[in-house]
Amino acid sequence: MTNYQTLWEQIRDEFKNHVSPTTYATWIKPVIPVALNKNQLILELPSPLHRDYWKAKLSPRLVEYAYKITQTDITPKFVLKEELQQKQQMEQSIQSANQSVPTFKKRTHLNPNYTFQKFVVGKGNQMAHAAALVVSDDPGKMYDPLLIYGGVGLGKTHLMQAIGNRIMQKDPKKRVKYVTSEAFTNDFVKSVQQHKSEKFRKEYRDVDVLLVDDIEFFADKGGTQEEFFHTFNDLYDDGKQIVLTSDRLPNEIPKLQDRLVSRFAWGLSVDITRPDLATRIAILKSKAKFAHIRIPNNCLEYIAQSINSNVRELEGALSRVKAYARFRQASITLSLTKNALHGLDIQKANSKAISIPAIQKMVASYFNVSVRDIKGKKRVKTIVIPRQIAMYLSREITKTSLPKIGKAFGGKDHTTVIHAYDKIKKNLKTNPDIQNYVEDLKGELQR
Ligand SMILES: Nc1ncnc2c1ncn2[C@@H]1O[C@H](COP(=O)(O)OP(=O)(O)OP(=O)(O)O)[C@@H](O)[C@H]1O
């Protein structure tokens, strides 16, 4: 299958996940990809009505999804069937299409964009990053296997492939193989069906570095686990490097054989957690830089504050803003950013109901004091500041009336709440410590 078809299928799947079934059936399903020519994705539409609708409503999203998939600016060009027939030259563009999407290195299946240079290090991933560097410096020695685990879209694949890319960069002769556990499973099943087990084994065991993504997919797959066990042993015994990723620790993967669980623990397991605000901003800055997006810092901060779920969503928001600006032929400003992100599902997801007791509990544990202290009367600074922050957040997040907040804080007068609220609000403008506390806590509360 050619690149533009694969690309379109991925874009189409994104639409499918985000629009109503009717919109999908009416406007998206009938589209036929024709070519990809110098980053222009040419799509055939059945009628002028479709073209108008796509131009007015769906194009920005297409640009956003295409960027998410390829990390490249792809613009759509819509053609109607009859126009196409008149243009025989289109044949040529179809041929050149295959060269213009960033291709994955064929032999290794590594994405060349997933490098250490493009990986932003922050609180949630510094351990994993450090371990990955060690492994790429000296594969098969210190941490074998290296297991990187954590939630979706947090950079596990990026880091794993950065190891592969760096090893290849240092020594192009090294045989690095990246595979998802799903692809490993499919290859294995096929090899059994087609009696090609030898070929399969050679492919997976004749390598210096094996990178296996998303091993949670091995759950419940006894036959594949058996095969992987032998692959693992062969490589390990030969001092080859194995890197694995998973969304959880191996002992939490259902029906993963004990012998695999114990082998995966032989090396080092490091987790990646959600990035804090500062890291989210740094990631956006880096993404904007590499994608040549001119975007002011206050816009990046707004995006980073609005989206704290994972880096993939963060990237999606940035490309959405970019696409939005492009289609309005405007430069990116804060109000444009707000409009572009308005109604994004993720924001709705973030604004889940948070109660005052939940805020008190979170603030107490963040500052290592008790909820009783937060609600109490002690006047020491180590308690007063957390208490004032808890009151401020209660007002900001829950919009509860001041007397009710006072009541929830051990029956205090509403003037005490006003005082706390005003004080934190003022400090937020000048005091970086207070800014960090409040941002961190907001992020934690919205997880
Ligand atoms: N620290 C980071 N710096 C720069 N980009 C990052 C960082 N973390 C994640 N990303 C980007 O976020 C996107 C998602 O990352 P990736 O696919 O590696 O996540 P993942 O943890 O493997 O997710 P999944 O569990 O869904 O496979 C990628 O485009 C990646 O480049």
C-alpha Rg value of the chain to the nearest Å = 26
What average pLDDT does this structure show over 31-56? 85
340 within 8 A of 324, measured Cβ to Cβ: yes
Ligand 1 probe mutation, 247, 311, 318, 319, most atoms within 8 A of CB: 311
pLDDT band at 85 (very low <50, low <70, confident <90, very high): low
Residue 409: the pLDDT is 95
Tell which atom from ligand 1 comes closest to the C-alpha of 114: 31
pLDDT band at 7 (very low <50, low <70, confident <90, very high): very high
Residue 3: the pLDDT is 83
C-beta of 311 in contact with ligand 1 (< 6 A): yes
Question: By percentage, how much of the chain surpasses pLDDT 90?
Answer: 47
The separation between CA 336 and the C-alpha centre of its own chain, rounded to angstroms, equals 23
Ligand 1 centroid – CA 279 distance (Å): 13
pLDDT band at 300 (very low <50, low <70, confident <90, very high): very high
Place of tokens 């998303």: 214
| CA nearest to 387, candidates 437, 314, 315 | 437
pLDDT tens, 206-229? 999 999 999 988 888 888 999 999
pLDDT band at 82 (very low <50, low <70, confident <90, very high): low
Pairing between β-strand 146-150 and β-strand 268-272 as defined by DSSP bridges: parallel
C-beta of 320 in contact with ligand 1 (< 6 A): no
Ligand 1 centroid – CA 99 distance (Å): 25
DSSP 29-74: TT-EEEEEETTEEEEEESSHHHHHHIIIIIHHHHHHHHHHHHSS--
Q: Which range among 30-34, 295-299, 317-321 has the greatest average pLDDT?
A: 295-299
CA dist 55 and 327 (Å) reads 9
Residue 102: the pLDDT is 41
Residue 97: the pLDDT is 36
Residue 81: the pLDDT is 74
Residue 269: the pLDDT is 93
pLDDT tens, 57-73? 888 889 888 888 888 88
pTM of the predicted structure, to 2 decimals: 0.61
pLDDT band at 352 (very low <50, low <70, confident <90, very high): low
Residue 90: the pLDDT is 38
Tell which atom from ligand 1 comes closest to the C-alpha of 214: 27
Q: Which residues of 358-391 are buried (b: 16+ CB within 10 A; e: fewer)?
A: ebbebbbebbebeeebbbeeeeeeebebbbbbbb
What average pLDDT does this structure show over 27-39? 88
| CA nearest to 270, candidates 133, 445, 108, 114 | 133
Ligand 1 centroid – CA 42 distance (Å): 28
Instruction: Kindly tell me if the per-residue pLDDT of 106 is higher than 70.
Output: no
What average pLDDT does this structure show over 188-203? 90
Tell which atom from ligand 1 comes closest to the C-alpha of 161: 18
**ipTM of model:** 0.99
Ligand 1 centroid – CA 329 distance (Å): 30
C-beta of 155 in contact with ligand 1 (< 6 A): yes
What average pLDDT does this structure show over 103-117? 74
155 is in an annotated binding site: yes
What average pLDDT does this structure show over 332-349? 74
CA dist 113 and 98 (Å) reads 18
- Grouping H, G, I as helix, E, B as strand and the rest as coil, residue 88 is coil
CA dist 117 and 409 (Å) reads 48
Residue 412: the pLDDT is 92
Residue 447: the pLDDT is 64
Kindly report the average pLDDT of the chain as a whole number.
86
Torsion of CA 79, 81, 85, 86, to 10 degrees: -50
332 within 8 A of 302, measured Cβ to Cβ: no
Domains of the chain and any CATH numbers: 3-100 (3.30.300.180), 126-272 (3.40.50.300), 277-350 (1.10.8.60), 356-445 (1.10.1750.10)
All residues at 6 or more sequence positions from 12 whose CB lies less than 8 Å from its CB, including other chains? 28, 29, 31
Instruction: Kindly tell me if the per-residue pLDDT of 88 is higher than 70.
Output: no
C-beta of 160 in contact with ligand 1 (< 6 A): no
pLDDT tens, 237-262? 999 999 999 988 888 887 889 999 99
pLDDT band at 390 (very low <50, low <70, confident <90, very high): very high
Q: Which range (99-108, 152-161, 353-362) has the least confidence? A: 99-108
CB atoms inside a 10 Å sphere around CB 220 = 11
Output the CA–CA distances (angstroms, integers) from residue 122 to 157, 272, 279, 283, in the order listed.
17, 10, 5, 9
Residue 107: the pLDDT is 59
Residue 152: the pLDDT is 83
Using CA positions, which residue lies closest to atom 13 of ligand 1?
A: 312
Ligand 1 centroid – CA 351 distance (Å): 23
Ligand 1 centroid – CA 239 distance (Å): 28
pLDDT band at 284 (very low <50, low <70, confident <90, very high): very high
Q: Is the peptide bond before 33 cis (omega within 30 degrees of 0)?
A: no
Instruction: Kindly tell me if the per-residue pLDDT of 86 is higher than 70.
Output: no
The DSSP call for residue 174 is: S
All residues at 6 or more sequence positions from 23 whose CB lies less than 8 Å from its CB, including other chains? none
pLDDT tens, 137-177? 999 998 999 999 988 889 999 999 999 999 999 999 999 99
C-beta of 70 in contact with ligand 1 (< 6 A): no
156 is in an annotated binding site: yes
